[in-house]
A and B are shown apart, each in its own frame.
Chain A
């Protein structure tokens, strides 16, 4: 799990099981016995089922996504099983030339940015607060966080849809108490900006527990002596955070931020469910746009082409995440 563990388990194995010639050269001649050869094959046998499964459900569909993006597969081809005609880059030129696509992309990016910034800022503040709480308050807060975390997405979405309901929602009742009865019957989803505010609240509420619990775990790793020494030397609260705490939690913070970027870019269920399984065009993000092209307009090729563009957009973030993981020794 940590770099130390991996390294602790690593070296004895390298000597005994490495299939390559390098380390074996130093070993006594006995190392070449048939038993060792079996050992070299064993790991491949062990990963074979996983590889086959991943190939079937991830690799094959991904290849198929690429292929379908260069074809024109509609409802007819789906039901008759005829192979769809090849259209070259037509799907991509259509999509990239469609202003709707750029509106959707902008909406997705802005929504993602707002959610990530809010989630990380609130999450960091709560985790810092948790360091300063009495034990019983911290346990209460942790329980509340875990209860929120464990809500199934569909259940959480139903609750938020109910809270923001125009006629019988609690949110309208409470606002009306302060701002007048005009707010009774207020429909939050007529204006997409207000609608996305409700959706963002759901996304942020759902993401905070993971962020807080992970950041809090990182904060407990900050040596208390260092913080105290900095305080004694006259550092302000912000100075202690900036120069003592932050460097320790930075790798975890970056990791969680990167994951949030990817998750919030791919937000699908929350929007889909809050809009009653048929989001209006104004509520489409890239995932939903691709979905509605494929399943509502039954142009599967347009859908896969949009999905492919999304994958390419995210691949940069994914590679960055992987590099961070490798830096911390998680992929050793």
Chain B
């Protein structure tokens, strides 16, 4: 949008170009500041260890090495941590998406008593401080024998994806014209048939975006995983990251390498939904 207006503005006055250059330089400086910690993560992961344990930190490594990655992979429980993280996040997201889609259809397609109340509850529960939930959930899972079991964490993650997933999928549902569904039903589809043949295919991009969002959240969560799972062999990747800090200090090289490996899929997924989200938002704008 601004791409088309920019040249026109530049033509207005001769000093515009100079101002624009100033803005651009400032913009690049901010980009560098914002991206710097990410740069530092990657560069520290690739740096030889003697440079990491140095009083004179340099912005550029003298040589590139994969030693840190080798140490990170050899850290005990790396394999089981990947396994735990995958099992927990995927189960929670799949379950959460099914329940959230059903609720989003109800909220987006029907007017019923309690609909607004449900939406309000969905928004409010997201504002509860984590500790208000953590203590009673810990006590309850302890009583039910759910500590150190995958299902305890899975249930918590599944439900914590529900509020935003329902609100988000509802946004996509209301953007599908109800006439499409109605004409399918006039042509002889059942309500279920209309959902399967008409709504679901149109909803697929929205569902993909919501599930990736939920997956990223579940992948990044560490507090509940840390408190509810005390066995080394059941640590999720984030809790496993904490094992790099011991009484004797932190192995920053290996920690940065391990962090890079954990963050990489998240960054890729995030870039991916960013596009999807933009499409979802613009399609909404066009329709309105």
Contacts and interface: CB of A to CB of B under 8 A. Distances in A.
Interface of A: 1-2, 4-6, 8-10, 12-14, 17-20, 39-40, 42-44, 46-47, 49-51, 53-54, 56-58, 60-62, 64-65, 68, 73, 78, 81, 126, 129-135, 137-138, 140-141, 143-156, 158-163, 165, 167-170, 173-174, 184, 205, 208-209, 217, 220, 224, 262, 265-266, 268-269, 272, 276-277, 286-287, 290-291, 294-295, 300, 303-304, 306-308, 310-311, 314, 317-318, 321-322, 325, 331-332
A19 B112 contact: yes
B203 to A, nearest CB: 14
A318 B174 contact: no
A6 B174 contact: yes
7 contacts: A12-B182, A13-B178, A43-B109, A151-B263, A160-B37, A170-B40, A300-B139
Contacts of A50: 99-100, 102-103, 118, 162, 166
A152 to B, nearest CB: 4
Given A1-B281, A151-B263, A266-B130, A137 B118 contact: no
Nearest to B109: A13
Interface residues of B, number: 112
Interface string B13-33: 000000110011011101110
Contacts of B174: 1, 5-6, 8-9
Contacts of B57: 168-170, 173-174
SS of B interface (majority): helix
A209 B120 CA distance: 26
Nearest to A40: B112
Contacts of A8: 174, 287-288
A1 B282 CA distance: 11
B160 to A, nearest CB: 7
A44 B35 contact: no
A133 B108 contact: no
B44 interface: yes
B9 to A, nearest CB: 9
Given A148-B37, A266-B130, A14 B111 contact: yes
Given A5-B287, A13-B110, A167-B55, A61 B159 contact: no
Given A53-B159, A53-B162, A163 B263 contact: no
Interface stretch (B63-71, B74-82, B216-224): B216-224
A132 B5 CA distance: 11
Nearest to B28: A137
A300 B160 CA distance: 23
B183 interface: no
Contacts of B112: 19, 40, 43-44
A48 to B, nearest CB: 8
A216 to B, nearest CB: 10
Interface string B116-146: 1011111111011111111111011011000
Given A126-B30, A165-B252, A304 B135 contact: yes
Contacts of B108: 9
The 7 tightest CB contacts between A and B, nearest first, are A4-B288, A150-B270, A46-B106, A57-B159, A64-B136, A50-B103, A43-B110
B131 A290 contact: yes
B6 interface: yes
A110 to B, nearest CB: 18
B52 A168 contact: yes
Contacts of A154: 220, 222, 238, 241-242, 259, 262
Contacts of B262: 152, 154-155
